[in-house]
Structure 1
Amino acid sequence: MNNPAVFCSVIPPHILDRLAQHEDPAVYGPARRTLEHDAQLRTQRRITTVRGAAAPTGSPSDKPDRTIYDAGHQETLPGTKVHAESDQPSNDATVNRAHAGLGATFELYLKAYGRHSIDDSGLPLVASVHYGEKYDNAFWNGEQMVFGDGDGELFLDFTLPVDVIGHELTHGVTQYTANLDYFGQSGALNESVSDVFGTLIKQYALGQSADRADWLIGAGLLGPNVHGEALRSMKAPGTAYDDPQLGKDPQPGTMEDYVRTSRDNGGVHINSGIPNHAFYLLATALGGNAWERAGKIWYATLTGGELDKDAQFADFARLTAATARSLYGEGDEIQAVLKAWSQVGVPAT
């Protein structure tokens, strides 16, 4: 397993690019600082990637091993240790939310899929909170989670949505399994897999069946005056926000509207709407708890060893169909998988 040649963050560059052009310093200041910071980290990730990462060596446990650090609004990681696994709840709500979100992620992977932490070998879960000054992002850097506090106007504290925490930690799961290239369709699959398991972590934590879930990513993250409900919608890609400052959600839901762009590693945060929508269609067609049949098909496809690093949407679709058949035979599951991909315009046979 190699470290990914990328730095995976939750706020797409197209949102920050737009905010960086704003005339109000209160809007463009945090956005420009966040963009500059993220570009720097991406470069560092490419350099460290060449060295690769050691194979997992931990001893799997059914209990998480979580440590939270406080970056103190600096950009040096990890910061000051403020919370260990056995500690009582902190007086800092952000620390408690980070601790709980790491736990919710560990729980879903263990209980639903028998996976022991991110690397399946009991990897300790580390997070740093209060990172940077009005830093408008959260990211997985190949080793740990990092959370900004947001600017307080457009984006609130990044520990608020548990699916954002699950999304970022799932980049780690992908890193230790299929290690999908972070460009074009394989990059959009990388992002989509993180959205899928991010929403499953939220649904599992809330005990929500597929028909009761909101299928939003990052609900509760946008400030009170932003015209929008989340960062992305798996149910209706392209409808998560439409705001004078953030712009309009550009995600397509089908291949008919696939976006060809050189920005954002070939539109990884935009075209991820297509496989996202396919998963939503599958999960709601099957009904019940989405982390069960639909989630198991996606998880087995991601971790089964057949998925190439440069897989395209059609490759992933075909593998999900093969996985559904091997797990469930010629029943409702395989038919629902084929129909879901067909509805978004991706061939699965």
Structure 2
Amino acid sequence: MSRPSRPETAPCAARLAPHRRHAAGCGCFIIPTRVLDRFAQDEQLPEAQRKSFADAASIETEWRKVRSASQQLMRMAHSVLPTGMTALAAAAPPVVSVFDCRHGMALPGTPFCDPAHATDETARRTFAETTAMAEFLRLAFNRNSLDDAGMGLLSSIHFSVGYNNAFWNGLQMTYGDGDGNIFIDFTRSNDVIAHELTHGLTEYTAGFAYRNQAGGLNESVSDVFGSMFRQWRAGQSVQQADWLIGRDIMGPGALARGYTCLRDLANPGAEHCLSPQPAHFDQYRNGMDPHDSSGIPNQAFYRAAMAIGGHSWEKTGRIWYHALTGYRPSPNLSMRSFANRTRSLARQIFGSEPSIRRAVDQAWLAVGL
């Protein structure tokens, strides 16, 4: 069967029907808890703004627990349920839906009947970038949505009031509008959209747990795919890219303090990063927040991509994609094991190009793996 040419938009009623309303679940978030905590205690911010950061941080731990349970259920389902319908499902493109929380917390919210032409700029942007992400997966990796079977892509916008985060909750994407000072509308960074959607891709493939080394890999894969998608949308080579994550959600208050991004794959510990990271494995410790430890494999991907050259998704990204999708679920995979997967895949996929094998190997050696 041929692959679908692009995602589809279903009629409004048809899109609403499959989605039961539910309370906000857990998620993998773009903003780490320690950053939320830092601003919650920042006396330079108004009290109401500090409280919004504190509230966002206080519920993240519980949301992670729920998402972990969702991942376990998904792994069990994949191991015991028949998959004979996959080939048929793969013929259908993913339906892209956008819902409006209207600053409430009930998910998914009220559907936009035609998000591509909505008067709400955030709805239009969310639809366009989510649709583009599905196209990126199809064109770059021959994959039909997150599950490779045409899974619908559901996003909720305007979550809560001044909410400073975006998350994947195991079922859908959710975006806050930001407080307007430190952060602005989280849909403004297409790498943030791709980052969070990639948590769904990881859930359907490697199933990395959100703790210890596997947690760092989980976050790193999302940063890597977020960066690749941003470069793909801009038509950039690895030399042209800035390798920043979250550049376009930095509000005026963050920019005034010298923060130009959340993270930087090229320089994980840079002062311009709102959430600086270690870049070498000798800095790793069990129990680290995955947003921190992900700096190590992030740096390895950047080094490999720069050495290989061209477009990040064409060769380096292909190796990382198969390292994520080409093996059985491995929730507790170590960073060294993932590194060795990429080394092996570089030999298998690009056997006639020894420079690629060397580039991948040297990239991991440079970060201590």
- Global fold match (TM > 0.5): yes
- Work out whether residues 26 and 60 of structure 2, in 8 Å CA contact, stay in contact via their aligned partners in 1: no
Q: What does 1:113-128 align with in structure 2 at a 5 Å threshold? A: 113-128=141-156
Q: CA deviation at 1:78?
A: 0.4
Q: Does 1:191 align with 2:216?
A: no
Q: CA deviation at 1:98?
A: 0.7
Aligned to 2:263: 232
Residue 101 of structure 2 aligns with an amino acid whose one-letter code is A
Residue 75 of structure 1 aligns with an amino acid whose one-letter code is M
Q: Distance in 2 between matches of 1:148 and 1:72?
A: 11
- Work out whether residues 321 and 337 of structure 1, in 8 Å CA contact, stay in contact via their aligned partners in 2: yes
Q: CA deviation at 1:241?
A: 3.0
Q: Distance in 2 between matches of 1:150 and 1:317?
A: 36
Corresponding residue to 1:30 among 52, 63, 81: 52
Q: CA deviation at 1:7?
A: 2.1
Q: Distance in 1 between matches of 2:67 and 2:271?
A: 30
Q: Distance in 2 between matches of 1:279 and 1:141?
A: 26
Aligned to 1:269: 291
CA offsets per residue over residues 277-329 of structure 1, 9 Å max, x none? 10000111111100000000000110111563211111111110000000011
Residue 109 of structure 2 aligns with an amino acid whose one-letter code is G
Structure 1 residues 163 and 88: CA distance shift in structure 2, 3 A: closer
Corresponding residue to 1:292 among 283, 289, 314: 314
Q: TM-score normalised to the size of structure 2?
A: 0.85
Residue 141 of structure 1 aligns with an amino acid whose one-letter code is N
Aligned to 2:96: 66
Aligned to 1:245: none
Q: Distance in 2 between matches of 1:62 and 1:214?
A: 35
Q: What does 1:153-164 align with in structure 2 at a 5 Å threshold? A: 153-164=181-192
**RMSD of the alignment, in Å?**
2.0
Aligned to 1:325: 347
Structure 1 residues 125 and 188: CA distance shift in structure 2, 3 A: same
Q: What does 1:299-338 align with in structure 2 at a 5 Å threshold? A: 299-305=321-327, 308-329=330-351, 331-338=354-361
Structure 1 residues 185 and 48: CA distance shift in structure 2, 3 A: closer
Residue 247 of structure 2 aligns with an amino acid whose one-letter code is A
Residue 65 of structure 1 aligns with an amino acid whose one-letter code is V
- Work out whether residues 231 and 240 of structure 1, in 8 Å CA contact, stay in contact via their aligned partners in 2: no
Aligned to 2:281: 255
Q: Does 1:213 align with 2:241?
A: yes
Higher mean displacement: 318-327 or 46-55: 46-55
Q: CA deviation at 1:43?
A: 3.7
Aligned to 2:22: none
Q: Does 1:107 align with 2:135?
A: yes
- Partner of 2:188: helix, strand, or coil? coil
Q: CA deviation at 1:181?
A: 1.2
Higher mean displacement: 287-296 or 97-106: 97-106
Q: What does 1:86-101 align with in structure 2 at a 5 Å threshold? A: 88-101=116-129
- Partner of 1:270: helix, strand, or coil? helix
Residue 76 of structure 1 aligns with an amino acid whose one-letter code is A
- Work out whether residues 116 and 128 of structure 2, in 8 Å CA contact, stay in contact via their aligned partners in 1: no
Number of residue-to-residue matches in the alignment: 331
Structure 1 residues 120 and 303: CA distance shift in structure 2, 3 A: same
Aligned to 1:45: 67
CA offsets per residue over residues 106-151 of structure 1, 9 Å max, x none? 1111001000001000001100000011110000011100000001
- Work out whether residues 301 and 307 of structure 1, in 8 Å CA contact, stay in contact via their aligned partners in 2: no
Q: CA deviation at 1:47?
A: 5.0
Aligned to 2:37: 17
Work out the percentage of aligned pairs sharing the same amino acid.
40
Structure 1 residues 88 and 294: CA distance shift in structure 2, 3 A: closer
Corresponding residue to 2:272 among 241, 244, 247: 241
Q: CA deviation at 1:203?
A: 0.7
- Work out whether residues 188 and 269 of structure 1, in 8 Å CA contact, stay in contact via their aligned partners in 2: yes
Q: TM-score normalised to the size of structure 1?
A: 0.89
Q: CA deviation at 1:62?
A: 7.0
Aligned to 2:230: 202
- Work out whether residues 139 and 168 of structure 1, in 8 Å CA contact, stay in contact via their aligned partners in 2: yes
Structure 1 residues 275 and 103: CA distance shift in structure 2, 3 A: same
Structure 1 residues 345 and 98: CA distance shift in structure 2, 3 A: same
